[in-house]
Amino acid sequence: MMNDNSYVECLVAGKARPLVVFLKYLMILMAVFSFILGFLSGNIFFMILFVACGVGVYFASLNASIEYEYQYCEREVTVDKILNKSRRKKVATFETGKIEVFAPSKSYHLDEYRNKDNYRTLDFSSGNEENPTYTMYYDGREKVIFEASKELVDAIKNVAPRKVFMD
């Protein structure tokens, strides 16, 4: 028998990071100037610089627009990173059986975990402070920050009801 929450998707658009946007426009400006200087002077160094700046613009534009997609399927939460709405990269997979606690980031249920230093932080949220986030402590090693939808939280709560809190 299939449960209604056997598969849930949630897409979170990331906030544009100012440093990456600044680097992107700086590289564009440098590429234009190096092309003009290379064309006018005939110096091969400026043309090589133009190509290098073009490659820099490509990579900066990929990282300027990042979205995260959370998928819950068969007791696993998978996180994919979508770069510039064109390239998808699988970032992490979490088994619900290894979740220690999953709660809103400001919940008192997370208090006993906050002072522990042995957790590596993985932030898969948009970075927008106004949006509510959930924090998951996983397998004694990772602190994972999500911007999960109610459907995703409900799906995880169905399989791990003592580890998921909604307060």
Q: How confident is the model at residue 5 (pLDDT cuts 50, 70, 90)?
A: low
Which residues, including other chains, have CB under 8 Å from residue 7's CB and lie 6 or more apart? Answer: 71, 72, 73
Average pLDDT over residues 136-158: 93
Structurally, how many domains does the chain consist of? Answer: 2
Q: Which of 23, 31, 26, 61 is nearest to 49 (CA)?
A: 31
Domain assignment present for residue 2? The answer is no
**% of residues, the chain, pLDDT over 70:** 97
- In whole numbers, what is the pLDDT of the chain averaged over residues? 89
Domain assignment present for residue 113? The answer is yes
DSSP letters for 69-81: EEEEETTEEEEEE
Higher pLDDT: 133 or 167? It is 133
pLDDT in tens, 12-57: 988 777 888 899 899 999 999 999 999 899 889 999 999 999 999 9
Find the helix or strand (DSSP H, E) in which 160 lies. Answer: none
User: What's the pLDDT score for residue 2?
Assistant: 46
Within this chain, do residues 27 and 60 fall inside the same structural domain, yes or no? Answer: yes
Q: Which of 79, 110, 80, 99 is nearest to 157 (CA)?
A: 99
The whole-model pTM stands at: 0.78
Length of the chain: 167
The tokens for 136 are: 């998951």
Within this chain, do residues 79 and 26 fall inside the same structural domain, yes or no? Answer: no
Task: Give me the domain span that covers residue 125.
Answer: 7-15+65-159
